[in-house]
Amino acid sequence: MLPELLATFKDDQQLLPAIVQDANSKEVLMLAWVNKEALEKTATTKQATFWSRSRKEIWVKGKTSGNQQEVISIKFDCDSDAFLFLVHSHGPACHTGESSCFHSEITL
Summarize as ranges the residues that interact with its own copies (CB under 8 A): 1-2, 5, 17, 19, 21, 25-28, 30-31, 43, 46, 71-80, 82, 84, 94-96, 98, 101-108
| Of residues 11 and 106, the one with the C-beta less far from its own copies | 106
Q: Could you tell me if residue 23 is left (phi over 0), alpha (psi between -120 and 50 degrees) or otherwise beta? A: alpha
Please state the closest distance from residue 49 (CB atom) to its own copies, in A.
13
| Of residues 57 and 106, the one with the C-beta less far from its own copies | 106
Please state the closest distance from residue 18 (CB atom) to its own copies, in A.
10
Please state the closest distance from residue 24 (CB atom) to its own copies, in A.
11
Please state the closest distance from residue 48 (CB atom) to its own copies, in A.
12
| Of residues 30 and 38, the one with the C-beta less far from its own copies | 30
26-33-16-30 Cα dihedral, nearest 10 degrees: 20
Interacting residues of 104 by C-beta distance below 8 A, sequence separation 6+: none
